[in-house]
Amino acid sequence: MQAEILTRAEAIEFLGLDPKIFNNFFQSAGEFNCLPRQNNRGRYYFDKTVLQDWRNSFEWRTIELDIDDYSLCLDFALAQHFRGYVLADWGTARQREFGQKITNWVKGQLAEVAVKKFFEKEFGVVVELDFEIHDDIVPQDIIAVVENGQHRNPKIGVGIKSSKPKSAYLVLSENEITIQERRSDIYIFCRPDIPDDHLLRITKNRIVELVLGRSLIVPNQSRKAESG
């Protein structure tokens, strides 16, 4: 049977992806391969069967998280920051730096929650995560396996790492390898997909209320001053 070949536009329509997301997966993340270019015109062509296999795999390994999951991870990230878990010059740190740190921590915790849900959904395995703040290094992200209502220690160390949705590779720092306490037996690579402005989206309505309230109050005060 001859393979059905799709153009880039047809592949995007077949997968139901936004063109920008398609480009991220194809160009940056290397999620699926194209056929060799034809006629040296820089055009890409895709095997429909290969794309279907990719879509099935992508849907299987994609976990949908809800607002409760996000709230749990945001609470943990804020606790890390305000309790000084990671040293920071709070007196001079810019808002952008604070937001980036919170985003990184939120993504890291979302990755752990996604793995927990994936294990339970696909394999019926219930694991316990550690959402406590510790002074010492906590090398493993899965701290217990729940069987018949009993908690037991994992037989292997599992490290759960997160990155941007368009990332294709997991790069471990030197400390992850050289420091025995931080080394895991296996690593699970996740790519939480949340917008970088997630904090602003949460506070957007409140900000609008404050700005609108001020814009209504200030002119009234000015008119009173003029009449006085």
C-alpha distance across the termini of the chain, in Å: 89
- Residues above pLDDT 70, as percent of the chain: 75
Q: Residues 105, 135, 176, 152: what is their CA dihedral angle, to the nearest 10 degrees?
A: -90
Say if 199 falls within a structural domain: no
Are 92 and 35 part of one and the same domain? no
Say if 50 falls within a structural domain: yes
Chain segment 152-185, per-residue pLDDT in tens:
999 999 999 998 887 777 888 888 888 887 889 9
Are 186 and 171 part of one and the same domain? yes
Are 22 and 98 part of one and the same domain? no
Q: Using CA atoms, how far apart are residues 91 and 125, in angstroms rounded to an integer? A: 45
Question: Which among 60, 77, 96 is the end of a domain?
Answer: 60
Say if 224 falls within a structural domain: no
Question: Which among 35, 60, 85 is the end of a domain?
Answer: 60
Say if 107 falls within a structural domain: yes
Buried b (16+ CB within 10 A) or exposed e, 144-174: ebeeeeeeeeeeeebbbbbbeebeeeeeeee
Query: What is the DSSP pairing of strand 150-152 with strand 142-147?
Result: antiparallel
Are 29 and 106 part of one and the same domain? no
Are 40 and 96 part of one and the same domain? no
The one-character DSSP state at 107 is: H
Are 32 and 127 part of one and the same domain? no
Chain segment 45-69, per-residue pLDDT in tens:
888 888 898 889 889 999 999 999 9
- List, in order, residues 6 or more apart from 128 with CB less than 8 Å away: 142, 143, 144, 145, 146, 151
Q: How many helices (H) and strands (E) does the chain have?
A: 7, 7
Are 116 and 93 part of one and the same domain? yes
Are 74 and 133 part of one and the same domain? yes
Quote the pLDDT of residue 88: 41
| Number of domains within the chain | 2
187 and 169 in contact (C-beta within 8 Å)?
no
Q: Using CA atoms, how far apart are residues 54 and 99, in angstroms rounded to an integer? A: 34
Are 119 and 186 part of one and the same domain? yes
| Domain carrying residue 76 | 67-190
Say if 56 falls within a structural domain: yes
Are 88 and 180 part of one and the same domain? yes
Chain segment 131-141, per-residue pLDDT in tens:
887 666 666 89
Mean pLDDT estimate for the chain:
79
Are 77 and 122 part of one and the same domain? yes
Are 93 and 160 part of one and the same domain? yes
